[in-house]
Amino acid sequence: MKLELGNIIINDIQFTNEGSKVENGVLTVNPEQIKSLVLEDSNIESCEVFIARPGESVRITPVKDVIEPRVKVEGPGGIFPGWIAKVDTVGSGRTNVLKGAAVVTTGKIVGFQEGIIDMTGPGADYTPFSKTYNLVVKMEPVEGLKQHDHEYALRIAGFKVACFLGELGRAVTPDEIETFEFDNLVESAKKYPDLPRVAYVQMLQSQGLLHDTYVYGVDAKRTLTTIINPLETMDGAIVSGNCVSSCDKNPTYVHLNNKVIRELFKAHGKTLNFVGHIITNENVYLADKERSSNWSAKLAEYLGCDGVIISQEGFGNPDTDLIMNTKKIEAKGIKTVIITDEYAGRDGKSQSLADADPSANAVVTGGNANQVIVLPPMETVYGHLHFVDTIAGGSANNIDAHGNITVEIQAITGATNETGFHNLSAR
């Protein structure tokens, strides 16, 4: 299976009164086209569109999702199968990517666990999306819309806008083409018989109550632990649908650019044999946790793994799933490395995870989400600033008389991402 990603490097976004287009590295957008597309949904009352560039004095909050614009130009399937495209299997052919651009959705908050993106200042150092050129789509729901309908409306609107922008790159010649190939188990074993066999176990947020992740349009909590081709993940098979703390939630952009998968491909055939991508869920009931972790261990053994990397999404309740996966896979004689973040208290002295086991002795941390930061005022805010005292990581009256906001870094989108989609760690 071979996937080509044709990266069209975007160096700016600009507005126009004419037709939207991509030309010479500039994404030119007619905001009225975006508004018309969004307002096709009768559940959305209003829509505003803004541009946020790296280095500008701009704050976006509360952030719902971040999505990379893409278009399928060759091969089966389409973008965001099960949501926008039909459910044909993706992961092969050519997908063009507006690399460096992102759609950021915001507006009235759905759940309290949403986040902040600062485009400059100290907060910008903690979010990878201060480096992207962001088309910000602020949407407000009709009065009385229920939470799940509100969540769905924002989610699907973001996907539609990303696909609209991606389509602008269909006929554009990419600046670079990345090629990824993934063999079946038999061919892989023949090619690299002497390299350690390594798989990736990715835990998908699926606790419900707006804590959801979707695989080909299906809520992950309704699925059994399974094997997916990593190229499918890179081509949009998995999308975000959750409101977990913004520091460690995986926006759709992160699923499309999963750092663990990319690093495993870099090492594939050199220091290891990347043999599979196992996706498992994070349910709330003990029987579901036992079932899912049993299957993770079973599939890791089935793939003949010598080692696995396990990443989680979220914290607290999912820490139990993380440790269950680790214990059971280690019990099969398979070495594990886990990627998590920590909630060690503002002084860093509390227990980092809600669960622990001696077998979890190889850990990569994304940092302490309880670390406190002071965010200075920005000249412009896209969204609603008054939610910053109620989002996860915020606190009552946390904006002082000068406009400074005191929050934990768990309020910053992507600050402690548990797939390594940033540069923060701890020592």
How confident is the model over 49-63, as pLDDT tens digits?
Answer: 999 999 999 999 999
C-alpha distances out from residue 13 to 27, 33, 54, 72, 136, Å: 5, 15, 11, 22, 11
pLDDT of residue 424: 75
pLDDT of residue 210: 82
Confidence check: pLDDT of 7 > 90: yes
Summary mean pLDDT of the chain: 95
Residue in this structure with the two tokens 């999306």, named with its chain if needed: 129
Distance CA 390, CA 398 (A): 9
pLDDT of residue 189: 86
Distance CA 186, CA 409 (A): 45
Confidence check: pLDDT of 228 > 80: yes
Average of per-residue pLDDT across 231-256: 94
How confident is the model over 348-361, as pLDDT tens digits?
Answer: 889 989 899 999 99
Average of per-residue pLDDT across 403-415: 95
Report which of residues 218 and 427 the model is more confident about.
218
Report which of residues 307 and 189 the model is more confident about.
307
Contact assessment for residue 107 and residue 114, using Cβ atoms and an 8 Å cutoff: no
Confidence check: pLDDT of 302 > 80: yes
pLDDT of residue 112: 67
Average of per-residue pLDDT across 359-365: 94
Distance CA 55, CA 189 (A): 48
272: its two tokens:
């290891």
| Number of alpha carbons in the 13 Å side-chain half-sphere of residue 231 | 23
Q: Which residues are catalytic?
A: 243
Contact assessment for residue 11 and residue 100, using Cβ atoms and an 8 Å cutoff: yes
How confident is the model over 123-156, as pLDDT tens digits?
Answer: 999 999 999 999 999 999 999 999 989 999 999 9
| H helix or E strand, kind and range, residue 234 | helix 230-234
pLDDT of residue 426: 63
pLDDT category of residue 427 using cuts at 50, 70 and 90:
low
Find the DSSP H helices in 128-216.
Answer: 147-167, 185-191
The partner residues of 44 in beta bridges, in order of sequence, read: 141
Phi and psi at 387, nearest 5°, equal -85, -10
User: DSSP of 365-402, one letter per residue?
Assistant: EEEETT-EEEEPP-SEEEE-GGGGGTSTT--TT-B-TT
C-alpha distances out from residue 5 to 91, 103, 140, 261, 287, Å: 10, 19, 34, 14, 40
Average of per-residue pLDDT across 76-98: 97
Query: Which of 29-38, 206-215, 314-323 shows the highest mean pLDDT?
Result: 29-38
Confidence check: pLDDT of 390 > 90: no
Contact assessment for residue 227 and residue 278, using Cβ atoms and an 8 Å cutoff: yes
AA identity, residue 64: K
Confidence check: pLDDT of 19 > 70: yes
Distance CA 115, CA 359 (A): 33
Pairing status of strand 218-219 against strand 363-368: unpaired
218: its two tokens:
């299906």
pLDDT of residue 357: 93
Which residues are CB-neighbours of 276 under 8 A, at least 6 positions away? 185, 199, 200, 227, 230, 299, 303, 305
pLDDT of residue 423: 75
DSSP state of 169: T
pLDDT category of residue 276 using cuts at 50, 70 and 90:
very high
